[in-house]
Structure 1
Amino acid sequence: MKQTPNTVFLTGATSGIGLGLALRLHELGDKVIISGRREDRLDRIAAEHPGIETVPLDVADPARIAEVADEVTRAHPELNVVATVAGIMHPERLLDPAHLATAEATVTTNLLGTIRVLSAFLPFLAEQPEAAVITVSSGLAFVPLPLTPTYAATKAAIHSYTESLRVQLADTPVRVFELVPPAVQTALMNQEDDENAMPLEPFLSEAMALLAAQAEGELLVETVKPLRYAERDGSYPQVLAQLSHF
């Protein structure tokens, strides 16, 4: 990705990977605008990190996405990076009819939220001299966690969508990155203290190094590669069996 200075808009950046990326980019000297559903967290982050701008956004609300895209691009005509980090992850029991509400919310936030945000910003980014899009899939896009079937399905869809996006934007100034996290110690699925998950700060350091080094493509930290390449390496059945115990 283009070296600093960039102007970056991130969704889902009030905690976890989204906030971590925002703070790392801010420290590098980029102009950072973060969004999220929780206005109290946005206010606290802005107070603790002067220079970071905030805007409330629930990516499940298409009308609000359009409003925010207009607001952000008007206020920051130099905007050249959009990162779609917003996502939810909940367990589902597929024989329980109640799981359908969870599945629908997950698709709306994780998949449609990403598509709608990109749709709103891409025409603007395509007019910039240099620009980038960062989507966030998961190692579970390649081997699912059976406990969270719709989450894994949306991340597989994000991977496929990003592949197509990269091809369609090849003749534009917009470079396309796909961040593929492993399990990371964040509030997602209450993994903050999960010893099987990668600590957040080392993950961020490795991801930022990859982002700086690559022209575009998948951003794969070492920990996620056993999931990413399980089918290629012939270990898919074993990895799926391991994940099935969670």
Structure 2
Amino acid sequence: MQPTGNTILITGGGSGIGAALAHAFHEAGNQVIIAGRRQAALDAVVADHPGMAAVTLDVEDAATIPTFAQKLIADFPGLNAVVLNAGIMVVEERIDLKIAEATIATNLLGPIRLAHALLPHLQAQPASAILTVSSGLAFVPLAATPTYSATKAAIHSWSLSLRAQLHDSNVEVIEIVPPAVQTDLMPGHAENPNALPLADYIAETMALLRQQPTPPEIHVERVKYLSEAAQRGEFESVFRTLNPH
């Protein structure tokens, strides 16, 4: 992925990792469009970054995505990158169908639907990129958030397949794999001393994204405890540590 001169859509750009990536990409000389459900949160981010744009989008609402994509392309014909970052994470003490279905719709179906809507346009650009956002929990699940972990494992698998399908095209597929980061994704995360500070996470992630060629998967050092557990032959011990009985 070229480090500057892109026109990038970032979903879930009103807070957390999405907002921080928007700031970093904007500072690097890219045109950034942030999307999310909460207009006030989007407006607050844009206010600090002259030239950044904001559009509302609920990725859980399948019916609105084709129209959203058409208007986005009309307004930003140079669009050549999308960061599929929007997501929710909710504790499920037992099977909760309402939470599970909302999580799947937002974290998995949303990215797939939006990528499908934008892919023809991205394929027509000289160079473009689809950046998915999975999680260290794609590799070792957290039992307290089973559907979140499952959707992130699915995003990892989908990214591998999409990359293979597009290997001979001009569309790069890059998977960003965050560890626990100090954001408001869940209550208490922003104050969790065991989570990676957001600024540190973004700095390390952007440094990896600037590498040429860009790695197909962006694993900061902190996430490798989870993402490389199976490779080290330590999956069971890491799973038990993450999910003590």
TM-score, reference length from structure 1: 0.96
Q: What is the CA deviation profile of residues 115-158 of structure 1, one whole-angstrom value per residue up to 9, with x for unaligned ones? A: 01101111100010000010000000000000000000000000
Q: Which of 117, 133, 136 lines up with 2:130 in the alignment?
A: 133
Q: Does 1:30 align with 2:27?
A: no
Tell me the distance in 1 between the aligned counterparts of 2:164 and 2:233: 28
Tell me the distance in 2 between the aligned counterparts of 1:220 and 1:45: 26
Aligned position for 2:79: 79
Aligned position for 2:217: 218
**Would the aligned equivalents of 1:166 and 1:175 in 2 still touch at CA under 8 Å?**
yes
Matched position secondary structure for 2:222: helix
User: Mean Cα displacement is larger for which, 236-245 or 106-115?
Assistant: 236-245
Tell me the distance in 2 between the aligned counterparts of 1:245 and 1:189: 20
Matched position secondary structure for 2:191: coil
- Percentage of matched positions with identical amino acids: 51
Tell me the CA shift for residue 4 of structure 1.
1.1
Q: What is the CA deviation profile of residues 74-97 of structure 1, one whole-angstrom value per residue up to 9, with x for unaligned ones? A: 111111101100000001122x5x
Tell me the distance in 1 between the aligned counterparts of 2:177 and 2:154: 13
Tell me the CA shift for residue 216 of structure 1.
4.2
Aligned position for 1:194: 192
Q: Does 1:145 align with 2:142?
A: yes
Aligned position for 1:60: 60
Cα RMSD of the aligned pairs, angstroms, is 1.2
**Contiguous gaps of at least 5 residues in structure 2:** none
Q: Does 1:122 align with 2:125?
A: no
**Would the aligned equivalents of 1:176 and 1:216 in 2 still touch at CA under 8 Å?**
no
Q: Which of 157, 160, 165 lines up with 1:160 in the alignment?
A: 157
Q: What is the CA deviation profile of residues 44-97 of structure 1, one whole-angstrom value per residue up to 9, with x for unaligned ones? A: 222222111000000001122112211111111111101100000001122x5x
Q: What is the CA deviation profile of residues 215-235 of structure 1, one whole-angstrom value per residue up to 9, with x for unaligned ones? A: 341100000111111111111
**Contiguous gaps of at least 5 residues in structure 1:** none
